[in-house]
Structure 1
Amino acid sequence: MSKGTLFIISAPSGAGKTSLVQALIEMTDSLQISVSHTTRQPRQGEEHGVNYFFVAQDEFMQMLNSHLFLEHAQIYDNYYGTSQKWLTEQLNAGIDIILEIDWQGAQQIRRLKPDSVSIFILPPSRTALEERLHNRGKDSEAVIAQRLQGAMNEISHYVEFDYLVVNDDFSQALKDLQTIIYSQRLTQIAHAPKLEEMLEELLN
């Protein structure tokens, strides 16, 4: 069995990453989002092992000190981390994994897993990005300005990624993402193990 691929997906706030990734998961077999460990409390409707692995802070710090996380981050008062063991098990089972992470985390993952494939999602324009941030209707002007500045910083790192997808038309961006997934599955290193019997028969 060929191993799965780790796909790193990053995007600035307002680029539409979450909606695209959710739609991509729903329409693509053997593809799932990485399930992180977190110390925050579950929100309504969230399930342990599906949305996150919810753990106490003491357990998280134990795992961290034992170097069990591929990457980790502290966001406000909560910790988040990607379990190396869980990720390896999924990839060894032939499942492709999507890891949604910012550019700094992406740098860290690429160093540790150079065979990963990185994708950066871009908004079509600065104006469109500003409109999307305003249309959320839940942030103050100060917060929007802060998010926009953060987005510009995030976008400046686009050159570090393998693929760029522009989310102008949602359907087209979704097709582009699925094309990247499928093309990776057809590389020799990924596809040849599935064709072992056929290749043996052809060569003999």
Structure 2
Amino acid sequence: MTTPNPNELAGLVAAIAVEQTQVRGDLRTVETNVGAIETQMAQLPAIKLAIAKIADSVKALAGTEEEEPSALWDWSTMTRKDAELAWSELSTWMDTVLSGVYRKVAGGGGNHSDPDMARLAVSMPSLGGDNSSGGLVPVCWMHHPDLVAELSWLCQMWLSIYRTPAGTARVGDWHDRYLPGVLARISTSTARTCLNQAHKPLRPAAVSSADALSAAIRADVANREQ
């Protein structure tokens, strides 16, 4: 049996010691990495919540809410049921918002059934009178299809702005551009000759505020397909 060379044994021992040191270092590195991963895993719920909040903020800024946007009213294709729903929403908005809040309906004021309010509106230029200078919607608006179409999208834009979280950024547009634009176009609409509440009918129709609106709605709905 050959006796091991002491120098060779010393070299082997030294090499093993170096390898053990490297293994210990590798183990410490693995332990450090595992600890970092565990820390990151513990932070995941908070990170997910932060990402969700950022996504919601981006959607709000872009106006892309999860809810499906309401389709614009197309009076040329509406069924009776669709027209009834649209007329109900539009007439309510006209009475409570455009007339009741903004006072932009000649002879309006939020209460068409009040004779005193109607007389007051006629006597005050700021509430009623000549649309060529006053920029008001004539009380006979429901008898003018082009004006109904204009007021329809104006109503829907107002609802999308004031009744949805993403609409607040467009409030200025509605007041600066949308409403003034519609009021300005009255002078070139079929209602341009309806001054001082003297309706010039496109077709025979009585004009008497609430009764006129009801009659116009019934006539429109009756002419539509089921």
TM-score by length of 2: 0.20
Higher helix content, 1 or 2: 2
TM-score by length of 1: 0.22
Higher strand content, 1 or 2: 1
